[in-house]
Amino acid sequence: METYITKLKHILPTFFIIAISTIVGLLLFRWLFVIQFDIIDLKEEVWCLWLPMGLPWIPLLIWLRPRFRILTFKKDNDNGRFFFQFLSAGTIIACLLVSQNYLTTATGRLQKLSTIRDIEKVEKSRYYELTNFSVANYYGGTYTDFRQSGKYNQYLNFDIFFVTPILKDTSERIDNIPKYWYGVNFKEQISNKISNEEKEKKYQAFYDECIEKMNKYEFHSLDHFERKPTSDDRQNYLKAIEARTKQTANDGFIVLEPIKEKYEDRNGNKFAWIFGSFGIGLAVLLFALIWPGFSETEKKRFLTGKKPKQDDLVDMLNYLVPKFDHFATSIILDLNLLVFLFMVFSGIHIISPNGMELLQWGANRRFETTGGEWWRLLTSMFLHGGIMHLFLNISGLVIAAIFVEPLLGRKNYFILYILSGLCGSLASIWWYPNTISVGASGAIFGLYGAILGLLLTNAFPEGGKKGILMMIGIYVGINLLWGLTGGIDNAAHIGGLLSGALIGIILYKLDGGQKNGI
């Protein structure tokens, strides 16, 4: 019992400080700078999903993670400690998700309007009650958002957004581009592994079904309207308006979405669940702390400020600093991470950006690239279709770089990476007529191709070639086979692999072919 209390005293105070400061701090910051004074205009998904999921990890990894070193486990590894880090983060994340959603609905006041034009006369709000209105359903527009989802992009999602102007009454006629729009959204998910012809058929069937629903839609069957804030949904509604009006939609357009549940029920049990989610997570954490052992030595080392000899997190962060045998790799990693962060904070979906978003950032597709925008062959190498895509490519890059950069040197390594990536991009637009391609995988497969090619030379010790061939061969084979299931640009993989093998051998021979550092 004494040992258990010691563990609690060492861990819980820091956990409480991090949890309270993170939850309260984010709530106050958003309320002050977004809701109260409207200074910061980020997508609502950032506040209600991405910041709650990512922000807690920073203080937890810096201040709480070192305290978990006092815990000991039967198997001497970091998996047990990571479980407690994950449990702590999960508790704070759950509380943040609920609290941010509660803040969204609780601060949204209901404004009552006599006509739709009164929306300009009252204070801007999130919710509006409007009973006297008409819709010009003959003037409607539509836009479909296509996104892949799932661990391996095994799903394809259709989000169809319909808009139609809101008028004061049936006597009003549309002379100019309407400013107020009624928005309705329908969703459908299908397998991403089926053929393109089957996808087209399923989409057309779903679209026809939605058209039928809109023809019978009861526009006055609602309790109140919700004004769409800056969000992915609002952007898609604006694209539907653009499709109808042939004019660029801007922030001056107001999109109202019907809400059928009563305004008084908008918060549900969210407030209670702020404390409930935290309480459940805390209870699980307290219970779990019973099982691991306790290291007095680690506690004394922590209190004296001595750092452990090996720290995986510090080693990982150090790998991002260009130096030693990973100089070029670190620069490439940093570029990929920075581009992805810029994309996310510009509003690109962090998990599954759609094709049009990626094209705007420089993705590779035959029509645009062969139409004069050849720079897409290069820019597409530093773009990624979501955080999972980025993570997988970073993992593959680091594994390959351990072999290649020390062997070729940083200059030749850069040349190999860029040239094989360009060859992968060329292979993609040669093989696929209308596929949008992004990612560093062509260049990364070029590194693996170089490893396989250099096995034919004296670059690697004879005794280690078999092991390298098995490890790299299995990795490449699995990825190529997985690419055959669909949703993956296998042409870029093969193009990068073959060109990388050839370029790697040429660079090695030009450099003298004398290195044997592995």
- Half-sphere exposure of residue 288, counting CA atoms within 13 Å on the CB side? 21
Burial class (CB in 10 A: 0-12, 13-18, 19+), 78: middle
Q: How many residues does the chain have?
A: 518
DSSP, collapsed to helix, strand or coil, labels residue 160 as strand
DSSP for 205-268? HHHHHHHHHHHT--TT--SEEEE--SSHHHHHHHHHHHHHHSS---TT-EEEEEE-S-GGGSST
User: What's the CA gap between 445 and 499, in Å, rounded?
Assistant: 9
Q: Which of 155, 151, 174, 150 is nearest to 164 (CA)?
A: 174
- Catalytic positions, written as ranges: 441, 493
In terms of phi and psi (left: phi > 0; alpha: psi -120 to 50; beta: otherwise), the region of 321 is beta
Q: What letter would DSSP give residue 143?
A: E
Phi, psi of 386 (to 5 degrees): 120, 165
DSSP codes of every residue in 347-395: T--SS---HHHHHHHT-B-HHHHHTT-TTHHHHGGG--SSHHHHHHHHH
| CA distance from start to end of the chain | 51
Tell me the sheet residues that pair with 128: 111, 225
Residue 516: strand, helix, or coil = coil
Tokens of 77: 């590894």
